Amino acid sequence: MALASNALTLVATVEDELTIAAGTETARLERLIHIASSVAATYACRTFFRSTSISEKSTGGVGPLLILDRPPINAITSITYLGTALSSTGYEIHDANAGIVYAVGGSWVTSTIGFSDVSGTIFTGVDRKTYTIVYDGGWYTPTQDNGTTIIRNLPYDIEYAAIAIVSYLRRSMGHDSSIASESLLGSSVSYFNPASSVAGGADWLKKSVPAAASVLDRYKRLSIY
């Protein structure tokens, strides 16, 4: 099974870091790398791997700043508003690493919809996504690196976080992950909260692989969904 583009490390790298004999656990490590990469992306609320043709819809926003989902922004191909292309002189990359585009001399139009139920309660988050931004965003992962035209530029600390998660998952295989501690003579066993699992997301990662969580905290983005 070949690793997908979103894989944040390689089997050979994991083998080297964890002193695993080459080729002895390939299939298992591929599965764990995919899991770890998904855990990292979910925790950080972002997609790390690079695509040169991302098409993203946006509501615009109040003021001149528009925030895209897959930084760093490497280049913007086009921005359209309700199907009409905007002049490239009307916007610029304001902060590539933060994914911010700036509306030159103005602001982005937001199609705000005022909607309330019979009680008069106003609902938010129902604005129409009138902008379509086509851009090149993200980092090239080790998996995408072909050694010639594409060279990985994913930060090494992100790869480290993925390897740390792989290491934890590999060590915990075959064990009851809900057990926090146990003693032989006292015959006592304490358990994690059932939600403290891979499916538990942020809490699980912070408790189980704090080194990875600490790294990914630096790249975490606010999720509004």
- 30/10 Cα distance (integer angstroms): 8
Q: Is the peptide bond before 194 cis (omega within 30 degrees of 0)?
A: no
Q: How many CA atoms lie within 13 A of 220 on its CB side?
A: 15
Could you tell me which of 162, 131, 139 has the C-alpha nearest to residue 51? Answer: 139
Residue 223's pLDDT is: 54
- 101/91 Cα distance (integer angstroms): 7
Residue 85's pLDDT is: 97
> 23-69 pLDDT, tens per residue?
999 999 999 999 999 999 999 999 999 999 999 999 887 689 999 99
Domain ranges of the chain: 11-48+142-217, 51-137
H or E element, residue 167: helix 156-172
Residue 196's pLDDT is: 45
Residue 122 has pLDDT above 90, yes or no: no
> 132-169 pLDDT, tens per residue?
999 999 999 999 999 999 999 999 999 999 999 999 99
H or E element, residue 100: strand 100-103
Task: Specify the amino acid at residue 184.
Answer: L
